[in-house]
A and B are shown apart, each in its own frame.
Chain A
Amino acid sequence: MADSVSGLSSVEAIDLTPVEKPRQLFLEVLYDWVTTVDHKKIGLMYIAYSLTFLVIGGIEAIVMRIQLAVPHNTFVSPEVFNRMFTLHGTTMVFFVGMPILFGFGNYLVPLMIGARDMAFPRLNAFSFWISAFGGFLLYYSFIGGSGLYGAGSAPDVGWFAYAPLTAKVFSPGHSTDYWTLSILLSGIGSIGTALNIVVTIICMRCPGMKLNRMPLLSWLYLVTGSMVFIAVSPLTAAQIMLMLDRYVGSHFFDTQAGGSAILWMHFFWIFGHPEVYILVLPAFAFANEIIPVFSRKAIFGYPAMVAASVGIGFISLSVWAHHMFAVGMGAGANVFFVFSTMIISVPTGIKIFNWLATIWGGKIRFASPMLFSVGFLFQFLIAGLTGIMLSVAPFDWQLTGSYFVVAHFHYVLVGAILFMIFAAFYYWYPKATGRMMSERLGKWHFWLMVIGFHMTFDFMHIPGLLGMPRRIYTYEPGRGWEIWNLIVSVGAVIQAIATLIFVYNLVHSYYKGEVAGNDPWDAWTLEWSTASPPPSYNFATTPIVHSRRPLWDIKHPEDPDWNYE
């Protein structure tokens, strides 16, 4: 009965024989992908593109860690080291973090809200290609920066590119120009995608999917999308001002001519801080979908989760200057930013507690998506707590610019975001490809990653507390930093191995994986009601939903979810 009401195909009758696809020529396939406006294909292209950059950014991290494994190392020159951390940071934030999350958003949001595509399919394709071109430009700087000097000509100003280091006098040649242009283009792409996601969520929901029935994933993408406008616009403005400084001779940030270094910091961090949340909210989004399914429980406190996400979105826009506690703002400004920064831990805490309550009393299945989510929970907890330490301005006067900070933000970027990205891969891979990823390889990946992660980033806090600044290409022996740096470097290599296993699993399972069927995890959201992979139109008939868990209602007609809204 529920079937006919909802218009969903029955979940029981799953056909497990893989569909014979007609063979296509390589060029046809390529043409098909390059010209596509299908949200799923664009999503997958985003994901493939950021995975490539993840490997590149990872190689850069390993180069840095080899150099720092022992004091006075000469594995790379100072110039190359400085380029490595600049490219690593820029790549990981702009060409791994953002696009991979947009990729998942693109793929999942329409499916989960019962839509056939994004609101603006052609804008969607445009946004992807312009971002990809940004990434291309960043690496083109290797050859275009100042002639054919190889690694010698990529940008070396750090991913926050503080003024006046980026001024023509301190950064002659074109490497900084490539950096600026590349960020500018990817920023335009991000704004386009964000617009698209927001409009899609607001306008394209299927009948019955009221805002308070949307999957939490859509809620979080709604908040993220809105934040991208507010945060990326000032970044784009700052890049244009920097280009004017460099080409036209204006003096916004040119301190030699009376410009302001602090102005750049404000512009940058008004983008940079919300950016952390732009990256972490989608990670929360994945956790919100995965943790309940693998605990066999509805999410605990849906309204509180929504409120906390919106709250985080708002507060995160007023905390940027906690990156500037040491620039000599007056005591008053410091006190204000201490407060706004600390208070954000309240909604964040609510989220952690609600996940805990969701697990509580459940039946927890430790399949790979859940394993990575559990890693996420612990690691995000630690990231949050070191974040509270850093928000205490006097403590931050010691720790900012040190390896403690590098450890802290990698807890967020790797421990929380990257772990949830891995979880999302294991969880939705069967939907996108029709095959399961190997659980055995998944377990290897998980355990090596956890070990490597903690060896790297737990121990990285210590040299920070012992006075080791970041962005140094080498250090003096004798201050107790050596042993920690060595452990950290070994951990980084273990993480790299884990990631390679994951990449192998992705490819291997595509051909050899177990056939998945429509709904392998016995889940509750709409994407699991269509075929795996979903047809280009997503749904044969527009679904109609009556509660937050439409597939639950079908599977449990005796106890439908709408009773509890």
Chain B
Amino acid sequence: MFIHSPSYFAQSSTSIFSPAGTPSHWIFTLSMFVLSITGLIFLIVAGLLTYALIRYRHRNLLTYNEPTQIYGSNQIELAWTVIPALIVVMLFLTASRVILATQDAKKPTDAVDVVVVGHQFWWEYRYPKLGIVTANELHVPVSDPAHPTPTYLEMSSADLDHSFWVPRLAGKMDLIPNRVNTMWIDPEAPGLYLGQCAQYCGVQHAKMLLRVYADTPQEFAAWVAQQQKPAVEDPAVAEGRAVFLHNACVNCHTVTGTPANGRFGPDLTHLASRDTIASGAVENNPDNLKKWIDNPDTFKPGALMPPMHLNDHDLNAITAYLTTLH
């Protein structure tokens, strides 16, 4: 729907080496520092080992006379205790700085607040100040260093442990029942950032994909305005709406302005504004919608939505209705 929304299959990178936000930049810099130190240690120790193994190799397994015995040396052993200890202290201090900077960062006044709730196997996003509820596709504004608008995520879980991980934006943070964790992200360039649940949460842990859309301020404002509108009441799809309201759909899903106010499944009020369904499992198009409603197991065996057993006529009507929910 949005100009920069690539089609579902145009995947972008999830490499931790292409950071696109402040926390991930910090982590990237720290990682490079750690990598170079450990790399150097590896080269030195592995080099010495290789040298010794070649230099002191003895081909004949049977004949040898015993080499000179050395039982130890206090100076040398002291050296290889103290030097590593100093390296550890240095690493510890740099790591601590990044921990404190990330976890104790001050929240700017222009921050966007989002409540994230993890579900088996989808994501719920609520914007309490903006009055928006959506699912699976998170929209946040791009953050400009001159005028930072980071997004603060207040995270919890409705069922099991999950973990929010979009490698280009930040490290992961777990979502745990009965507990609220926070993290913040501030994408520096517009675009789609992918990730996925990183804490095993049952059968379909693998298909609990994350999609974060970083919008320019204008796009974000437009998206907010759109999401705040009531659901479309298109008379052309009244039949589909009736099918929806007379089936078990309403027990689990919400469409604002209708009696459907279930919260077990994703909010469908603006379903058609999303690129994917089932937490990124497949592209959002009428064909996939139909298959999904008929039997969610075709895409996501083990997903908690039951097959709806509708006849073809009803299935078409309900799909037509859902595609109008912009």
Contacts and interface: CB of A to CB of B under 8 A. Distances in A.
Interface of A: 77-79, 82, 156, 158, 162, 164-165, 170, 255-256, 258-262, 295-298, 300-304, 326-328, 330-331, 334-335, 338-339, 342-343, 345-346, 349-350, 352-354, 356-357, 359-367, 374, 377-378, 381-382, 385-386, 388-389, 391-402, 465-480, 556, 564
Contacts of A259: 178
A360 B68 CA distance: 11
A326 B204 contact: no
Contact of B38 (A350, A366, A385): A385
B67 A356 contact: no
B173 interface: yes
Contacts of A170: 159-160, 202
Contact of A296 (B66, B73, B199): B66
B203 A78 contact: yes
Contact of A398 (B27, B49, B68, B181): B27
Contacts of A77: 301
A353 B91 contact: no
B175 to A, nearest CB: 9
Nearest to A381: B45
A378 B163 contact: no
Contacts of A79: 203, 301-302
Given A165-B200, A401-B199, A468-B14, 5 more contacts: A261-B177, A331-B103, A359-B53, A382-B42, A467-B196
Contacts of A363: 56, 58, 64, 66-67
A360 B52 contact: yes
9 contacts: A261-B178, A335-B100, A338-B96, A343-B85, A356-B48, A465-B17, A466-B16, A478-B11, A564-B71
Contacts of B46: 378, 381
B122 to A, nearest CB: 16
Contact of A365 (B58, B100, B172): B58
Contact of A260 (B24, B69, B104, B178): B178
B88 A343 contact: yes
9 interchain residue pairs of minimum CB distance: A397-B171, A467-B14, A478-B11, A328-B181, A472-B206, A255-B177, A401-B198, A301-B72, A363-B58
- Range for the number of chain B residues in contact with chain A: 35 or more
A57 B172 CA distance: 30
Contacts of A360: 52, 56
A304 B77 contact: yes
Nearest to A162: B161
Contact of A467 (B16, B104, B202): B16
Nearest to A336: B96
A469 B121 CA distance: 15
A468 B92 CA distance: 27
Contact of A401 (B71, B92, B163, B209): B163
Nearest to A472: B206
Contact of A350 (B69, B81, B171): B81
B11 A392 contact: no
B92 to A, nearest CB: 5
A330 B34 contact: no
A98 B204 CA distance: 31
B87 to A, nearest CB: 9
Contacts of A386: 38
Contacts of A556: 66
Contacts of B301: 77-79
Contacts of A400: 172, 198
Contacts of A391: 95
B206 A473 contact: yes
B302 A398 contact: no
A156, A354, A381, A469: most-surrounded residue (chain B CB, <10 A):
A469
Contacts of A256: 177
Contacts of B17: 465
Contacts of B302: 78-79
B244 interface: no
A357 B77 CA distance: 10
Contact of A389 (B35, B71, B96, B178): B35
Nearest to A303: B72
Contact of A362 (B67, B95, B202, B205): B67
A378 B50 CA distance: 9
B108 interface: no
A300 B34 contact: no
Nearest to A471: B200
A362 B170 CA distance: 50
A467 B200 contact: no
Contacts of B161: 162, 164-165, 261
A342 B201 contact: no
Contacts of A339: 92
Given A78-B302, A397-B170, A480-B15, A365 B92 contact: no
A361 B92 contact: no
Contact of A394 (B67, B77, B102): B102
A524 B202 CA distance: 53
Given A395-B34, A480-B15, A346 B171 contact: no
B72 A356 contact: no
A401 B72 contact: no
B64 A365 contact: yes
A156 B150 CA distance: 38
Given A77-B301, A356-B45, A365 B173 contact: no
Contacts of B197: 469
